[in-house]
Amino acid sequence: MSATADTQSRVDEIIARRFKGRFKGALVFALVLLLAVGSIKTTIIDDTDWDRLGTFSEIMASVGEFLSVDWVLFGQLWQPALSTVMVATLGTLLGVLTCIPAIWFGALNISPYPPITYPIARLMMTLSRSIHEIVWALFFVAAVGLGALAGVLAIAVRSVGFIAKMSAEAIEDLDPKPVEAIRAVGGSEFHVFIYAILPQVLPTMIGVIIFEWEINIRRSSVLGLVGAGGLGLVFFRQLNTFNYPGVTAVILAILLLILFGEIVSYFIRKAII
Burial (CB < 10 A; 0-12, 13-18, 19+), residue 83, is: buried
H, E, C per residue of 103-135:
HHHHCCCCCCCHHHHHHHHHHHHHHHHHCCHHH
195 vs 96, 100, 200, 216, CA distance in Å?
Answer: 21, 18, 9, 31
110, pLDDT greater than 60: yes
Instruction: Provide the whole-model pTM.
Output: 0.73
User: Could you report the per-residue pLDDT of 136-191, keeping only the tens digit for each?
Assistant: 888 888 888 877 888 889 999 999 888 988 888 888 888 888 878 888 888 777 77
26, pLDDT greater than 60: yes
Q: Is 273 helix (H, G, I), strand (E, B) or coil?
A: coil
Alpha-carbon dihedral sign for residues 254, 259, 264, 269: positive
Burial (CB < 10 A; 0-12, 13-18, 19+), residue 178, is: middle
Q: What is the structure's pLDDT at 134?
A: 86
